């Protein structure tokens, strides 16, 4: 096992990013092709596949017979608009079919104030797939060409927002990977940066600990409400909220409380500034600097989407059993606390926090490595998932019928 030799890490307070017209800072340059409906997914992927620098955001929503899908549209629009507004996105092509429920205009109206190129095509109006592909590729190529002259500049880390997530957890996650990531997040916040973490299902049994760190009573109330709502949803489906995946159990986790106590450590120790609403009505973004929780889901890629839609430019993802996750518009730094997993999946992992388990490094030392890696990736260093070409994208929406039946209020 390769052990890092240099423990004197640079005390970084800055990174190299791209200045945006709205004052934000990007760490990558992506042109996104957004289908309004699943019928436009394949054309969107074909356009993106032909234009280096473009990426498609396929999803299963947009049109259906009356049912939950129609009610999801508010949350789908919120997330698609949030992704389009992310500083890592430099141009947007909205691709509609023409007869769907979620019309292109709904997205275009929300993006009208975006200080970046935004165009729209409707397949039925353009005369079919081939004509749409030709015009779409021309638009996407123009957007890509327009940013070729951009150069990175130095910015303080106060301009960086980092999302933290976990998946495939095992016993090493809570005693190595997550605490080390928490160290890095504490350092980021100390330098003026912002962090977001979600997965309310993995806060069950630890919500009282998080509530102690709330900056005021309103935030404390929201923490308890968010976790209680998640428990209600699980029970309504006859699923025990303390259920864990087979991989979690095989990895040595015994209770959801044990898992939660480990999971919340990836958010560090700083005060919690707020709980971000993520509902049919709005997707809330951090109102200031520091640490924020976000209402959402424990599904890995879906959760990342929600945090990136809220403005995160970089993702740190911890895993014990191993994960291959990447993301469409934000680099994903994968950290494992299991030395065996790192040995077997070195091509997928960016940080080996298993050195804590073997006694070669302390939590603080690995946290320093993660912090340094975070700044380097924000400055352009490629992650393992980027090298592999992974561009995952998913959107999640809670069933509004269940929420109504359980008297769960949308938002806070």
Considering the domain architecture, whether residues 251 and 286 belong to the same structural domain is answered as: yes
Q: Which of 102, 121, 151 is the last residue of a domain?
A: 151
Q: What is the pLDDT at residue 231?
A: 84
Residue 8: band (very low, low, confident or very high) from pLDDT cuts 50, 70, 90: very low
Considering the domain architecture, whether residues 281 and 381 belong to the same structural domain is answered as: yes
Considering the domain architecture, whether residues 146 and 161 belong to the same structural domain is answered as: no
16 in a structural domain: no
Q: Work out how many domains the chain is built from and give that number.
A: 2
Considering the domain architecture, whether residues 162 and 138 belong to the same structural domain is answered as: no
Considering the domain architecture, whether residues 122 and 202 belong to the same structural domain is answered as: no
Considering the domain architecture, whether residues 183 and 143 belong to the same structural domain is answered as: no
41 in a structural domain: yes
Return all residues near 107 (Cβ < 8 A) that are at least 6 apart: 34, 36, 77, 80, 81, 84, 94, 120
Considering the domain architecture, whether residues 172 and 245 belong to the same structural domain is answered as: yes
236-284 pLDDT per residue, tens: 666 665 555 666 656 565 666 777 787 899 999 999 999 999 988 889 9
Considering the domain architecture, whether residues 366 and 254 belong to the same structural domain is answered as: yes
246 in a structural domain: yes
100 in a structural domain: yes
Domain around 292: 157-387
Q: What is the pLDDT at residue 131?
A: 98
Q: Which of 151, 185, 213 is the last residue of a domain?
A: 151
Q: What is the bridge-based pairing of β-strands 54-56 and 30-35?
A: parallel
Considering the domain architecture, whether residues 146 and 163 belong to the same structural domain is answered as: no
As a whole-number percent, the residues of the chain with pLDDT over 90 amount to 74
Considering the domain architecture, whether residues 271 and 128 belong to the same structural domain is answered as: no
- 318 has a pLDDT exceeding 90: yes
7 in a structural domain: no
Considering the domain architecture, whether residues 144 and 196 belong to the same structural domain is answered as: no
11 in a structural domain: no
Residues 213-236: what's their mean pLDDT?
90
Q: What is the pLDDT at residue 260?
A: 79
pTM of structure: 0.92
Residues 60-78: what's their mean pLDDT?
73
333 in a structural domain: yes
Q: What is the pLDDT at residue 254?
A: 60
Calpha distance 119→116 (Å, rounded): 10
Q: What is the pLDDT at residue 411?
A: 65
Q: What is the pLDDT at residue 158?
A: 97
- 4 has a pLDDT exceeding 50: no
Considering the domain architecture, whether residues 316 and 168 belong to the same structural domain is answered as: yes
- 148 has a pLDDT exceeding 80: yes
Sheet arrangement for strand 118-122: 54-56, 30-35, 89-96, 118-122
Domain CATH for 124: 3.40.50
350-371 pLDDT per residue, tens: 999 999 999 999 999 999 999 9
143 in a structural domain: yes
Query: What's the per-residue H, E or C state across the chain?
Result: CCCCCCCCCCCCCEEEEEECCCCCEECCCEEEEEECCHHHHHHHHHHHHHCCCEEECCCCCCCCCCCHHHHHHHHHHHHHHHHHHCCCEEEEEEEECCCCCCCHHHHHHHHCCCCCCEEEEEHHHHCCHHHHHHHHHHHHHHHHHHCCCCCCEEEEHHHCEEEEEECCCCHHHHHHHHHHHHHHHHHHHHCCCEEEECCHHHCCCCHHHHHCCECCHHHHHHHHHHHHHHHHHHHHCCCCCCCCCHHHHHCCCCCHHHHHHHHHHHHCCCCEEEEECECCCCECCCCCCEEEEECCCCCHHHHHHHHHHCCCCEEEEEECCCCCCCCCCCCEEEEECCHHHHHHCCCCCCEEHHHCCCCCCCHHHHHHHHHHHHHHHHCCCCCHHHHCCCCCCCCCCCCHHHHHHCCCCCCC
């Amino acid at each position: 096992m390769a052990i890092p030799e240099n423990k004197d890490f640079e005390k970084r307070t800055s990174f190299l990013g791209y200045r945006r017209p709205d004052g934000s800072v990007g760490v990558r340059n992506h042109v996104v092709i957004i289908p309004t409906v699943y019928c436009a997914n394949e054309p969107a992927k074909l356009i993106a596949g032909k234009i280096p620098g473009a990426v498609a955001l396929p999803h299963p929503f947009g049109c259906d017979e009356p049912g939950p899908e129609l009610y999801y549209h508010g949350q789908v629009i919120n997330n698609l608009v949030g992704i389009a507004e992310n500083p890592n996105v430099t141009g947007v092509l909205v691709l509609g079919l023409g007869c769907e429920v979620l019309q292109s205009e709904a997205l275009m109206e929300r993006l009208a104030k975006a200080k970046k190129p935004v165009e729209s095509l409707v397949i039925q109006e353009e005369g079919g797939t081939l004509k749409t592909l030709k015009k779409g590729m021309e638009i996407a190529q123009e957007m890509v060409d327009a940013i070729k002259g951009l150069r990175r500049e130095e910015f303080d880390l106060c301009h960086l927002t980092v999302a933290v997530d976990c998946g495939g957890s095992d016993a090493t996650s809570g005693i190595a990977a997550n605490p080390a990531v928490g160290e890095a997040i504490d350092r980021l916040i100390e330098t003026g940066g912002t962090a977001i973490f979600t997965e309310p299902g993995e806060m069950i049994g630890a919500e009282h600990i998080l509530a102690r760190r709330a900056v005021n009573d309103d935030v404390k109330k929201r923490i308890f409400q968010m976790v209680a709502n998640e428990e209600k949803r699980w029970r309504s489906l006859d699923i025990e909220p303390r259920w864990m995946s087979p991989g979690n159990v095989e990895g040595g986790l015994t209770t959801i409380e044990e898992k939660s106590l480990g999971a919340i450590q990836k958010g560090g120790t700083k005060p919690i500034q707020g709980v971000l609403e993520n509902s049919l009505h709005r997707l809330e973004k951090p109102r200031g600097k520091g640490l924020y929780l976000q209402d959402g889901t424990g599904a890995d890629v879906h959760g990342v989407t929600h945090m990136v839609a809220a403005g995160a430019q970089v993702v740190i993802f911890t895993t014990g059993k191993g994960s291959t996750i990447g993301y469409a518009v934000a680099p994903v730094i994968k950290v494992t606390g299991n030395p065996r997993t790192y040995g077997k999946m070195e091509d997928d992992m960016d940080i080996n926090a298993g050195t804590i388990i073997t006694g070669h490094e302390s939590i603080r030392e690995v946290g320093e490595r993660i912090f340094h890696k975070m700044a380097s990736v924000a400055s352009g260093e490629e992650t393992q998932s980027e090298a592999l070409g992974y561009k995952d994208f998913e959107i999640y929406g809670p069933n509004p019928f269940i929420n109504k039946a359980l008297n769960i209020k949308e938002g806070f």
